[in-house]
Copies of this chain bind each other. A is one copy, B any other.
Amino acid sequence: MKRMFGVALTGLLVAGAGSAVADEGMWTLDHLPTKQMQLRYGFTPSQQWTDLVQHAALRLAEGCSGSFVSANGLVMTNHHCANSCLSQLSKGHEDYMSNGYIALKQEDEPKCPDVELNQLESITDVTTQVNAATTGKSGAERVKAERAIDSKLEQSCVNGDAKTWRCDVITLYNGGRYALYKYRRYQDVRLVFAPEQSIAFFGGDPDNFNFPRYDLDVAFFRAYVDNKPANTPQFFKFSAQGPKAGDLTFVIGNPGSTQRGIPWTQLAAMRDYRLVPFYGFLSELRGLLWQYGHAGAEQTKEAQDLRFGLENTIKVFNGWLQTLADENFVEQKKKQDASLREWMAATPERRTKYGDPWADLEHAQQRSKDLRARYDMLEGGAGFAGRFAQLFDYARTLVRVAAERGKPDGERLPQFREANLPAVQQTVESDVPVYPRYEQTMLSWGLEKFRQTLGADDPTVHEVLGKQSPDDLAQHLVSGTKLADPAVRKQLWDGGEKAIEASNDPMIALARQIDPESRKIRKAYEDEVTAPTDKADETIAKARFDHEGMSSYPDATFTLRLSYGKVVGWNENGAPVPPFTHFDGLYKRATGADPFKLPDSWVRAQSALDLSTPMNFVTDNDIIGGNSGSAVIDREGHAVGLIFDGNIHSLGGDFVYDGSNNRAVAVDTAALVEAVRKVYNLPRLADELTQGHL
């Protein structure tokens, strides 16, 4: 499963890919490769087709894709993109994550506490404005200037209505272009249907990133406006047949990030100083959660969301590390860099124009190596279970929002700009369960890593731990804090700086205590690593454009992209892997033991099902993490599939696309219709899918 996990290698996401070959490319809608599409598939998209694609496609703000599949706001995405909602809605003995959820009638559709959908409204080129603001600036000055211009552009775009609109300035082509993306927000998103975890993720971690595959990795949401189903005339009509082998397919979604355009020296530093240590960190956490979950059913449930995310991420890391260790790939990258570098230095004019961004890059990487561990622990929050649990994240957000709201928009940390506040507020005030035992475990482990990483003699470590052990401090914090209560959080949000200052909540106190050091390391990192890296990358990207012409598509940036391709298998160790699996194969693969255990619903339904129904299929579309939940559509703009994974060879796609064996994995729409109707006996939903409206 390729859901974006919150571990993006921030600061390394730069763009500018080489010229596209085969079915390569994640294209922006305003710059589609129409010639290639026509040449290879005899297809040229009409304006109407492109409009449909843009408005039917959705971004899940937390890190997935989705799409409207009826005129009444019905949204199709992956089960694994609905994990948080399913966990959060489960209370007491209900376990929607494991058992699935079926809304028999519309009134049964419960609100997901913090799902936000973004529908792309427009893209505006703002390259001139951004360049004007940053040209000639570097370090802290550049960070400040960028923040100010981004805020200005975004505020004017949102135009005072942040509940409806969300605007983001996006860096494309590695600084070759900047664009303002304007989205319509949907924050009232309700759950319509999700199958059991055991069929959504049949085969579990062993089958993840593998094929043949037999997963019904789907969930249906519904967008509401004013407490009524949203009116969504632009949607993908549902094909009850699915695609055929060889069919032209498009994937429309939000690939998270790729690093195809950045120099090898940056990739090498990423591998050695961030990826490998992080791989160890996450592996350790994975082992901890394994054991935590083995203590009982409650603990299994508490840990499962993070555990799935970790297993997935670790598999991705394995794929990345393999590609980054591949000698052919490395040599090719090095050669490309060397040739560009040579070209840049070949004349006095070019030397004057470009300077030596390569040396700047090297220096920035050295600084990153020095600063990164402290950054991760403090500002990244890893030392306090940030991103792995909730309580510290709440405290940090509340402390920061109170301090940031008082500043001019352009001087705030980007997360707290006016345009972003509704999403932040939704997260802070949402009624999601908090598990004290889990929180304490995560925090205790985090604090131990904090001391281990910075060293017992570090003054901040001394200040935080004093003479307490990580276990004792975690116990003190979790038992003492009231932040598990959404009402308390709301009070603090509303109370602002005064309330934060007056609070004697120990978790708030911790967040207050470390905030100055956190901000200090963040600033150092931004000024000495991010800004010079951005600047150097921009210079290198511009030189590349000067030398090779505008390259074909920008690296992925979790914004809307279209990829084209076809339904096609591949060869594995000399043997062909056919592109489709079918229901009969699912029943053959089932063992009765987790993760190959079928839910009862499927066992019961076997005789009623058409076992020749195609279940999953693969295409050579170029996708990446973040594309989870993307629709696969055909020439007519009909949904024929639902992306939920890539094969194991697709993992290197972050760095390079190899059309010979890089495959996207999708659920067939034929399987979805058959299952909704015959396994789950939900004619209401099946009819809406096939008819296109309620």
Contacts and interface: CB of A to CB of B under 8 A. Distances in A.
Interface of A: 203, 205-207, 210, 268, 272-273, 276-277, 279-281, 283-292, 294-295, 314, 318, 321, 325, 441, 444-445, 448, 451-452, 455-456, 467-469, 471-472, 591-594, 596
Given A203-B456, A287-B283, A593 B272 contact: no
Lowest 5 A-B CB distances belong to which pairs? A287-B287, A287-B288, A272-B325, A284-B287, A283-B283
Contacts of A314: 280
Contacts of A281: 283
Which one of A276, A469, A471, A594 has the highest number of Cβ atoms from chain B below 10 Å of its Cβ? Answer: A276
Nearest to A594: B469
Nearest to A288: B287
Given A203-B456, A287-B289, A467-B593, 5 more contacts: A273-B325, A276-B276, A276-B279, A287-B287, A287-B445
Contact of A445 (B210, B290, B472): B290
Contacts of A285: 287
> Could you tell me the dominant secondary structure of chain A's interface residues?
helix
Given A284-B283, A284-B287, A291-B291, A456 B596 contact: yes
A340 to B, nearest CB: 20
Contacts of A448: 290
Given A279-B279, A594-B469, A210 B455 contact: yes
A96 to B, nearest CB: 23
A206 B451 contact: yes
A89 to B, nearest CB: 27
Contacts of A288: 287-288, 290-291
Nearest to A212: B457
Contacts of A287: 283-291, 445
A307 to B, nearest CB: 11
Contacts of A592: 467
A291 B205 CA distance: 21
Contacts of A277: 318
Contacts of A289: 287, 291
25 contacts: A206-B452, A206-B456, A210-B455, A272-B325, A273-B325, A279-B280, A279-B283, A280-B283, A280-B314, A280-B318, A283-B283, A284-B286, A284-B287, A285-B287, A286-B287, A287-B288, A288-B288, A288-B290, A288-B291, A290-B445, A291-B292, A291-B441, A294-B471, A456-B596, A469-B593
Contacts of A283: 279-281, 283-284, 287
A182 to B, nearest CB: 42
A287 B281 CA distance: 9
Which one of A280, A455, A468, A592 has the highest number of Cβ atoms from chain B below 10 Å of its Cβ? Answer: A280
Contacts of A286: 284, 287
Contacts of A455: 206, 210
Contacts of A594: 469
Nearest to A321: B276
Contacts of A272: 321, 325
Contacts of A294: 441, 444, 471
B591 A467 contact: yes
A289 to B, nearest CB: 8
Contacts of A451: 206
Nearest to A280: B283
A455 B294 CA distance: 22
A102 to B, nearest CB: 28
A287 to B, nearest CB: 3
Contacts of A456: 203, 206-207, 596
Nearest to A592: B467
Which one of A206, A281, A594 has the highest number of Cβ atoms from chain B below 10 Å of its Cβ? Answer: A206
A314 to B, nearest CB: 7
A210 B455 CA distance: 10
Contacts of A593: 467-469, 472
Contacts of A284: 283-284, 286-287, 290
A591 B280 CA distance: 29
A452 B283 CA distance: 14
Contacts of A321: 272, 276
A268 B321 CA distance: 13
A456 B596 CA distance: 9
A21 B456 CA distance: 35
Contacts of A291: 287-289, 291-292, 441
Nearest to A291: B291
Which one of A448, A456, A468, A596 has the highest number of Cβ atoms from chain B below 10 Å of its Cβ? Answer: A456
A452 B205 contact: yes
Nearest to A451: B206
Which one of A281, A283, A287 has the highest number of Cβ atoms from chain B below 10 Å of its Cβ? Answer: A287
A365 to B, nearest CB: 11
Which one of A289, A318, A325, A445 has the highest number of Cβ atoms from chain B below 10 Å of its Cβ? Answer: A325
A279 B596 CA distance: 29
A522 to B, nearest CB: 22
Nearest to A311: B452
Contacts of A444: 294
Contacts of A318: 277, 280
A314 B314 CA distance: 18
A383 to B, nearest CB: 13
Nearest to A596: B456
Nearest to A268: B325
A302 to B, nearest CB: 13
A498 to B, nearest CB: 35
A683 to B, nearest CB: 35
A374 to B, nearest CB: 14
Nearest to A444: B294
Contacts of A596: 456
A479 B591 CA distance: 24
A292 to B, nearest CB: 5
A596 B469 CA distance: 10
A369 to B, nearest CB: 10
Nearest to A207: B456
